[in-house]
Amino acid sequence: MGKNLTSRADDYSKWYNELVVKADLAENSAVRGCMVIKPYGYAIWEKMQAELDRMFKETGHQNAYFPLFVPKSLFEAEEKNAEGFAKECAVVTHYRLQNDPDNPGKLRVDPEAKLEEELVVRPTSEAIIWNTYKGWIQSYRDLPILINQWANVVRWEMRTRLFLRTAEFLWQEGHTAHETRSEALAEAQLMNQVYAKFAENFMAIPVIQGVKTESERFAGAEETYCIEALMQDGKALQAGTSHFLGQNFAKAFDVKFTNNEGKLDYVWATSWGVSTRLVGALIMTHSDDKGLVLPPNLAPIQVVIVPIHKTDEQLKQIGEVAKDLMSQLRAKGISCKYDDRTTQRPGAKFAQYELQGVPLRIAIGPKDLENKTVELARRDTLSKENVFMDGLSSKIDNLLVEIQDSLFDKALEFRNTHITKVDTFEEFKEVLNIKTGFISAHWDGTAATEDKIKEITKATIRCVPLDQEKEAGKCVFTGNPSTGRVLFAKAY
Amino acid sequence: MGKNLTSRADDYSKWYNELVVKADLAENSAVRGCMVIKPYGYAIWEKMQAELDRMFKETGHQNAYFPLFVPKSLFEAEEKNAEGFAKECAVVTHYRLQNDPDNPGKLRVDPEAKLEEELVVRPTSEAIIWNTYKGWIQSYRDLPILINQWANVVRWEMRTRLFLRTAEFLWQEGHTAHETRSEALAEAQLMNQVYAKFAENFMAIPVIQGVKTESERFAGAEETYCIEALMQDGKALQAGTSHFLGQNFAKAFDVKFTNNEGKLDYVWATSWGVSTRLVGALIMTHSDDKGLVLPPNLAPIQVVIVPIHKTDEQLKQIGEVAKDLMSQLRAKGISCKYDDRTTQRPGAKFAQYELQGVPLRIAIGPKDLENKTVELARRDTLSKENVFMDGLSSKIDNLLVEIQDSLFDKALEFRNTHITKVDTFEEFKEVLNIKTGFISAHWDGTAATEDKIKEITKATIRCVPLDQEKEAGKCVFTGNPSTGRVLFAKAY
């Protein structure tokens, strides 16, 4: 199966699109820009959800659920936010269909069932949530509110790609309310750190934490924190954002509270989210020309066992050994599968699990039964070894950790060698086009320069890194003074 | 807090509406008919989800995700299904807003951004899913497909009530595809049993399994299995349904497969779902005039510990004891909370946890420290006892099981005493209005009779019980012959 996959070198974009479909992760649907997430792809998302949900709860957040629809009058209340999303809103205008008198058996929108006020399908939920918080907050005793929502959102994007950019996507959105500016800022920073930790420890994706420039900021935010990752083709991908919203939404929805000195003030806000886009990032960070490579912490199946047999008796004996091994692995919390389908040959099974990125594959044949061994193959390195059955579950347990670490190290090495300091615009363009990756360069701090660079090179400022060193320099484009380097890249 | 709650005897409906809001489960939103599920209410739903998801996976199902929108042409393909839902569909007609030239700062729908084909917000997903399955199924080797989806759906209901009937609700919908009629029928029956087991073992709600009559069947189904529960006011509530869809959707979407004899045939289907409506059923089965009563298996907090202190030193000592007890409880998998807020008095805390239905409350005061005791209060019986700290966590573990069983027994007793056999229509009306509950009566099997009875009494046939005894009799309304009794009731 991997044989039919376009290679990354030939066409990275085609490789990605083919891999998503061939590995059974997702496919396009009959609805423009909306995807079907297939069971194997959804299982990866479920693993992400479980871990993120645990991290959110550990940091004091609770889940809740708010309506899918936002009445237009609420949607437009926070003007910058509304302006930012207005151009990509799906709008519900009617609430009923009726038989089409001109086409028997067909339906049409019932013109009598027009809504008095149109409903926007949420592209994000600040508006509906802050309109709700207004009823929940009177005093500082009602604060903080630390809520997260798992939901679908819709943004009518014109150019879509499976997982990376779809009209409907699944995400979580945290929405918190605080007494003070500093508390809200600390929350926005904390959640960005949670995202960074998740990306690095679970997805094995090294990320750079930073803040967005004004032009790249979330519509309605005062500061947008982000984690930026680098894909194998040298393009950056924004993997998560956490916004300090100031008092913008509190002012738009008139949400005030009495502080502990009896004074009225507007509430301070944050919001933060990651989406099914992360599945795209996962694929593009680790996978190879043979298919997916999944980090063990997010692999739906961590170990697959394939029997190699000629006779039914052999299959029965291998089955017993496999069953015993599986119960040992499961006792260690390792997810495993025994594939004893007789409709497929071992070679086809090997190719399938390679394509689907199962971290470890075990093959057991008649010789192995005699020698008390198995063949153990690693997906990431494609290496194989014969190992003794004795102590195998512990070996596997350690190996899964080793693979997880090794994938991270490999991605980190790639990322680190793809951050290039440049001081001239010629060099900027050359690195961008030939070496690719992040470019660390001085910038004069103006949106005008940022726009011009984008126009000429398609590169944007991915972030001002949180660990930016103060360093006097000259803007790579205008030569005007700068106080530190920022990271540019072409991005997904 | 419970004091302000309308009593069930005074106005059951008002009691329910107040309780949902006062116990912090949910509230109405700015969007007509859509609710906000608050963290405490959502935590109950999460517990339901976790258990159902486990049961689905145990029976071989996998999760996936399909688009929120259904193009009108797909929606209308299965005519009965389309007809059943057409009158309550939210319809997306446009994909962009723009600045309103007549109202600065306001937005309006961009008339240029009209969709060529309208999109229906899914009221259920058979259409979009069967259109997708068409691409997945060629041969019997591709079957069965056993998929579940956790999602939001929208049905534009005119009269809504929190949890029980809302325009948008959360649910799961299983959609399976099979080679044979009998396999699909067995699946529909199996999932109805899964629902019954979940309702009885987790929600402590006894249910009657049955099939719907043709008029009450799901639009597009050949047979609808259901679980029917009885609320405290004597009205029935349909808690879950599982549909045998025959080949209706396969025919509408032209989904054929080659069987193992090489012949082409249409695929057989089922679908099955439960929703956030279950939270309403949970409330109305167990709660009382003081507030919620939650079965331990679904209570977000199973045990709450409240300190009773005068001095800070006492609070500190109680805190240590509580911490120790909590770690013992957590080791047994019991969820607990220590409420040491100093902004609330113990009495207020007691009232809050009573209202919120926490199964067990522990109070620890200075005397308890001396005597190595605690005060242990049961929410279901409102009984209190002083018990020794020694062995407390085991006692609690047993008590939670006892409470779970006792809630089920109480609900079963109520349900069983509210199934009344009647043989005349006078008696039928009298029982329905005075005693209430299920009425077991003979019916002539015609939709016309069913309709007339509904018109006169508002009672509908809830189901033909699966364990129906064959018994010759005369229809309670027409006197025409009948072969067995069915269950009538007024219903939510």
pLDDT in tens, A103-135: 998 999 999 999 999 999 999 999 999 999 999
Which among A90, A94, A132 has CB closest to B29? Answer: A132
pLDDT tens per residue across span B248-292 = 999 999 999 999 999 999 999 999 999 999 999 999 999 999 999
Query: Of A251, A286, A321, which residue sits at a domain end?
Result: A286
pLDDT tier at A1, thresholds 50, 70, 90: very low
Asked whether the beta carbons of residue B128 and residue A35 sit closer than 8 angstroms, the reply is no
Joined together, the tokens standing for residue B132 give 């997708």
Q: Is residue A23 part of a domain?
A: yes
Q: Tell me what pLDDT residue B319 has.
A: 97
Question: Contact at 8 Å (CB) between B270 and B188?
Answer: yes
Write down which residue in A253, A286, A319 finishes a domain.
A286
For the residues B339-346, what does the mean pLDDT come to?
93
Measure in Å the smallest separation between the Cα of B91 and chain A Cα atoms. 5
The answer on B162 and B39 residing in a single domain is yes
A423 and A393 in a common domain: no
* B284/chain A closest Cα distance in angstroms: 22
CATH code at position B369: 3.40.50.800
Nearest CA distance, A169 vs chain B (angstrom): 9
What is the pLDDT of chain A when averaged over all its residues? 97
Q: Do B67 and A34 touch (CB under 8 A)?
A: yes
A132 → chain B, closest CA residue? B29
Q: Are B132 and B170 in a shared domain?
A: yes
Measured in angstroms, the CA of A154 and the nearest CA of chain B are apart by 9
In a domain, B439, yes or no: yes
Residue B292: inside a domain, yes or no? Answer: no
- For the residues B351-362, what does the mean pLDDT come to? 98
At residue B4, the pLDDT reads: 84
Residue A156 domain boundaries = 2-286
Last residue of a domain, one of B346, B369, B399: B399
CATH code of residue A160: 3.30.930.10
Residue B1: what pLDDT?
46
Q: Is the pLDDT of residue B169 over 60?
A: yes
Which residue in the set A141, A151, A154 is minimally distant from B343, CB to CB?
A141
Of residues B43, B119, B343, nearest to A31 (C-beta): B119
Q: B281 with B395, same domain?
A: no
Is the residue at A114 inside a domain? yes
Average pLDDT over residues A227-237: 98
Segment A327-376, tens digit of pLDDT: 999 999 999 999 999 989 999 999 999 999 999 999 999 999 999 999 99
Question: Do B71 and B198 belong together in one domain?
Answer: yes
Please give the average per-residue pLDDT across A410-421, as a whole number. Answer: 98
Q: Which residues of A touch B94 (CB under 8 A)?
A: 90-91, 93
In a domain, residue A202? The reply is yes
Q: Which chain B residues touch A45 with a CB distance below 8 Å?
A: 65
Both B457 and B386 in one domain: the answer is no
> Does residue A211 sit in the same domain as residue A128?
yes
Mean pLDDT of B385-406: 97
Same domain, A324 and A264: no
Residues A319 and A275 in one domain: no
Contacts of A46 in chain B (CB under 8 A): 63
Name, in order, each residue with C-beta under 8 angstroms of A427's C-beta and a sequence gap of 6 or more.
none
Examine the pLDDT at A10 and tell me if it is beyond 80. yes
Number of domains chain B is built from = 3
The pLDDT, as a whole number, for residue B3 is: 62
Q: Beginning with the edge strand found earlier in the chain, give each strand of the sheet holding A114-121 in spatial order.
A: A69-71, A114-121, A91-94, B91-94, B114-121, B69-71
Q: What is the pLDDT of residue A3?
A: 62
Residue B64 is nearest to which of A30, A38, A67, comparing CB atoms? A38
Decide if A76 is inside a domain.
yes
Q: Is the pLDDT reported for residue B125 higher than 60?
A: yes
pLDDT 10s digits, A138-180? 999 999 999 999 999 999 998 999 999 999 999 999 999 999 9
Give Cα B309 to chain centroid, integer Å. Answer: 41
| pLDDT, position A343 | 86
pLDDT exceeding 70 applies to what percent of chain A?
Answer: 99
B414 within a domain of the structure (yes/no): no
Query: Looking at the predicted structure, is the pLDDT value of residue B2 above 80?
Result: no
Q: Report CB contact under 8 Å: A128, B72.
A: no
Taking an 8 Å cut-off on Cβ atoms, the answer to whether B93 and A94 are in contact is yes
Judge: A35–B98 Cβ closer than 8 Å, yes or no: no
- Report the candidate in B303, B310, B291 with the shortest Cα–Cα distance to residue B374: B303
A371 and A261 within one domain: no
Same domain, yes or no, for A68 and A199? yes
Mutate one of A31, A112, A125 to test the B interface: name it (highest B CB count within 10 A): A31
Q: Which class for A391: exposed (0-12), middle (13-18), buried (19 or more C-beta within 10 A)?
A: exposed
User: Do B331 and B276 have their domain in common?
Assistant: no
CA of A341 to nearest chain B CA: how many angstroms apart?
A: 11
Residue A66 within any structural domain of the chain: yes
Supply the pLDDT for residue A4: 84
Cβ contacts from A onto B, under 8 A? 192
Instruction: For residue A29, name the pLDDT band (cuts at 50, 70, 90).
Output: very high
**CATH code of the domain in which A445 resides:** 3.30.110.30
